[in-house]
Structure 1
Amino acid sequence: MNKSNNSILSRMFTQSIFMDLINNQEVSVFDTCVHRYLYNVNEVDNGQLISKLYKYMEQKYRNEYFYKNTLLNKLLLGRHSLNTTTVLSELPINKSKADFILINGKAIVYEVKTELDTFDRLNSQINDYYKAFNHVCVVTCESNYDKLQEILKGSNVGICVLTSRNTISTRKEPIEDNANLDHSALFKILRKKEFEHILLNYYGELPQTSQVKYYRECFHLFSEINIDLAYKYFLEQLKRRVNIEKEEFKKVPYELRFLIYISEYKKNDYLKLFQFLNTTQG
């Protein structure tokens, strides 16, 4: 199978497709994947079909979803825990979007470069990330490692490799770099309730001004906070963003954990998900 034929697998493992699937909407992407890549699907439940599709991706098409799901399983669930660590994905930072951010005592941005990607935009992406985070790491495959090492020579950027055994191998730890942290970049990421919480905590009050000037006044106050302290407050707010039904999430199959994590399912969504996974084809 060539790359273009396999790209439907990337559409399959998305929030919108799974929301339709668990709500009993007819989803042609799922049916197409099942019939294109699998055999003997009668009397096989949907959970097993998804597991088989994921196995195909592992062997033939390690796409961005596969990388992110591996990062979540190996780092968040393998080295840390749901209680102490938060993962964010696709967070806009200037002109880039951070693929995977792991926030614990510190925060690390993981930029994913799969076998299917190029390094064309990597420098501009890294520059954007350092405006809002002080640890950056690139995750790639073994065959890209030497080229990536050359590109990042002398930088503070870390390097991880998704090995042929589908483990995450850290080849170079990211080094803390606060030189480019920027108040404006931090503030644009924060939601209204988040920056208000920071300002109340620091100043004890919010600006008394017109609605038109309110955002600008809040930013002015935020920009007066020492950048190291502002960054600490910033991470505290981001860490609170994700609210997972932990007991339900623990039952989610390995193949779907990243997808379900970023979807922030409620208990009723989990019920529908498990019902879908246990439904048999044919």
Structure 2
Amino acid sequence: MQEKRNFEYAKLLSSQYSTFLSNNTIKNKVLKAFDGQLSVDKFKNTLSPREFVNQFLLDYYPNETTIKSTFINNVLFKTNNHVSIFELNVGKSRLDLCKINSISTAFEIKTELDTPKRLNQQMKDYFQVFDMVYLICSVQDLKSMTSHIPSECGIYTYYSTKTGKYVFKKARGAVKSSSISAFSQLSVLTKKDLNVFFECPTLESKDTMIDLIISKKTEKEINKIFKLCLRRKFQYKWNFLVENSSDILEIDYQWFFKNTLSPRIVYL
């Protein structure tokens, strides 16, 4: 019963939280959300109101933000020499995470709060653009999700321990995509990207620029330059997050990746 109440509190706090809110404003929102069920003394010890919300959401609200940030902590931060990117538009889909080094890897997150209804379209889009594709889902949702993904798609599963820690396991390795489309890859990029990285003259239509590049370069060359472009574009943002991660709360990872402002300025 208490677990269900905590989930509802966490859901409400998640909808009201914003990175830019002051600690005092967050404190008032927390006290209002708990409707007198939480002591003001909660904030007088070790956790600030912002830190309390971060920990409470990680413990009781397994939404995309929680799973994404803990996956980054447990998997992506453990390896070097890559650039990871949040929320990339790919075809008709919006990719949760991707990792770029000599191989491009897409990660689609399906939490216990999600349904698999968009997975078929997402898989189609991602396999046309990335070398490898992984689904991230909870252990209990594995069977229901597997029927919606191709056998080439790798799988990371996760579960939460009694102490609230998330454990991730690679349940199935990914097979390199045989469906990569140069047109789909180039469509992810902007006209400026096509001009700078592919030395294509800026034309009125992006599709015309893409057709011109495809006529002059092989699919292998395009795939290589595509990955180089993404690394260069997002290198600074990813490095900023990595270097400042000890000062950034998990629920704010994506915001700081996008805005690259000092936590000391934002967390006043």
Give the shorter-chain TM-score range: 0.7 to 0.9
TM-score, normalised on structure 2?
0.80
The letter of the residue matching 2:213 is F
* Alpha-carbon distance in 1 for matches of 2:32, 2:45: 14
1:110 aligns with 2:101: no
* Alpha-carbon distance in 2 for matches of 1:184, 1:3: 43
The letter of the residue matching 1:118 is T
Q: Secondary structure at the match of 1:175?
A: coil
- Corresponding residue for 2:60? 60
Residue 120 (structure 1) shift: 1.3
TM-score, normalised on structure 1?
0.77
* Alpha-carbon distance in 2 for matches of 1:59, 1:4: 12
1:249 aligns with 2:244: yes
Residue 85 (structure 1) shift: 1.7
The letter of the residue matching 1:219 is I
- Corresponding residue for 2:76? 76
* Alpha-carbon distance in 2 for matches of 1:46, 1:227: 55
The letter of the residue matching 1:218 is M
Residue 104 (structure 1) shift: 2.4
* Alpha-carbon distance in 2 for matches of 1:247, 1:89: 13
* Alpha-carbon distance in 2 for matches of 1:46, 1:265: 27
1:218 aligns with 2:225: no
* Alpha-carbon distance in 2 for matches of 1:247, 1:186: 26
Q: Secondary structure at the match of 1:240?
A: helix
- Corresponding residue for 2:84? 87
1:101 aligns with 2:98: yes
Q: Secondary structure at the match of 1:120?
A: coil
Residue 71 (structure 1) shift: 1.7
Residue 216 (structure 1) shift: 4.3
Residue 253 (structure 1) shift: 3.8
Structure 2 residues without counterparts, runs of 5 or longer:
none
* Alpha-carbon distance in 2 for matches of 1:182, 1:229: 12
Residue 132 (structure 1) shift: 1.1
Structure 2 CA distance for partners of 1:199 and 1:157, relative to 1, 3 Å: same
Q: Secondary structure at the match of 2:39?
A: coil
Structure 2 CA distance for partners of 1:75 and 1:261, relative to 1, 3 Å: farther
Structure 1 residues without counterparts, runs of 5 or longer:
201-205, 277-282
- Corresponding residue for 2:15? 11
- Corresponding residue for 1:155? 151
Aligned length: 253
The letter of the residue matching 2:152 is N
Residue 270 (structure 1) shift: 2.9
- RMSD in angstroms over aligned alpha carbons? 3.0
State the Cα deviation string for residues 15-47 of structure 1 (Å, max 9, x = none): xx21x326x9x96x7742454258334554896
- Corresponding residue for 2:175? 175
1:233 aligns with 2:225: yes
Give 2:265's match in structure 1, choosing from 262, 268, 272.
272
* Alpha-carbon distance in 1 for matches of 2:247, 2:12: 23
Q: Secondary structure at the match of 1:163?
A: strand
Asked if 2 retains the 8 angstrom alpha-carbon contact of 1:73 and 1:254, the reply is no
